[in-house]
Amino acid sequence: MVEVIKVALNSQEMKAFIELPWKLYQNHRKEWIPPLKVSEEMKFSSGNPFFAHADFSALLALKNGVAVGRIFVSIDHHFVNAPNSKVGHFGFYESINDDEVAQKLYTEAESWLYQRGCSEIHGPINFSIYYSYRFQTSGHKTAPFLGEPRNHDYYPALALKNGYKIHSTWYSWELSVWNVLIMTLHTLLAARLRPRPKDLVRIKLADLNQLESEIKEMYESALATFQNNYGFAHISKEEFTSAISSMAPFLFPGSFCKAYNQENKVIAFVYGHADMAEAFKLIDGDYQKLDLMKKSRPKRIVWHTLGIDADYRKSSLVYKICEPLCLRTLLARMPVIGALTKEINKGYARFSAPTRSYSVFYKVRAL
């Protein structure tokens, strides 16, 4: 017998909700990165700033009294809806490979969202795009990188069986040290041959010792850059800083760079980070084992995000701002993950096809 129960924040059932992935990935540890349990507890506490502008409910599926699935539903009042549309989200989906469990979870989630006026459901969106989102749809046997959406390979099929369709797809590439050399040379050349920006531009490496202020400084630029991206939602500077800061411990000199115009406004930014996936596997969610992070050396670097003001996207700034990250990666002699691009990245695609893909799914309420 399968039943779905509502889970309150800070309850004993929430503990089961948070710890369910450790149970479901017990035999798939090579393909999953355990988050810190204390971090997950903070996400699902009343102090999460997301909850101040959202309606939400956590749902836990029990089969014969044992937790076997979960789903989180939310309506973000800062989400930018299309005209005549109201989108609700499901996220944090996990379950055993069982059609009945999936059907019960999706049915309860849809009922909750439809009762509150939603005309469409998108997911998985874990709160909003500033946190984490997407199901991995291919490349499940590849080694995961830090910040990558990872899930059992049957999750997309369960979503499709429950009437969901693919809305948008993203890709990641694995680049060798030789690939990085070629891309760095191309970047250096293009930065000098492409048309220069129309005005004087200053490029500066972020001060990693003042990271909070560095992130706050790029807040307006980031929102302007992301406003046409999938799933855009308005977000406060404080919540934006909190969400982006999760990668702060894994940045390194040269990995975070910003560009400024003559008015000293941020017009572009780029960042990558060390891939500490193997360290997180050793820590296995236990905050008391964080010292293992110091003993682990990353084996690759993740090129994560490039944002640039629309007025500068056809100029040499696209390449100029990437120079420090390319050069620092080349000096480290590490392979790279070209992460989570929504289109096929021509720079990456010259070397190979993407090795992983991810999608957001959607369902429109039947009239």
CA-CA distances (angstroms) from residue 50 to 75, 233, 239, 244? 10, 11, 7, 14
Task: Give the global pTM.
Answer: 0.95
3-state secondary structure of 58: strand
| Ranges of each domain in the chain | 2-169+360-364, 177-334
CA dist list (Å): 258 to 241, 268, 365: 16, 6, 42
Render each residue's pLDDT in the chain as its tens digit; 367 residues: 999 999 999 899 999 999 999 999 999 989 999 999 999 999 999 999 999 999 999 999 999 999 999 999 999 999 999 888 999 999 999 999 999 999 999 999 999 999 999 999 999 999 999 999 999 999 999 999 999 999 999 999 999 999 999 999 999 999 999 999 999 999 999 999 988 888 889 999 999 999 999 999 999 999 999 999 999 999 999 999 999 888 889 999 999 999 999 999 999 999 999 999 999 999 999 999 999 888 889 999 999 999 999 999 999 999 999 999 999 999 999 999 999 999 888 899 999 999 999 999 999 998 7
For residue 232, count CB atoms less than 10 angstroms from its CB and return exposed for 0-12, middle for 13-18, buried for 19 or more: middle
d(CA 108, CA 264): 50
Q: Which fold has domain 177-334?
A: Aminopeptidase (3.40.630)
3-state secondary structure 203-247: EEECCHHHHHHHHHHCHHHHHHHHCCCCCCECCCHHHHHHHHHHH
Nearest 10 degrees: Cα torsion 312, 317, 321, 327? 150
Establish whether domains 2-169+360-364 and 177-334 are of one fold. yes
Architecture of the CATH domain 2-169+360-364: 3-Layer(aba) Sandwich (3.40)
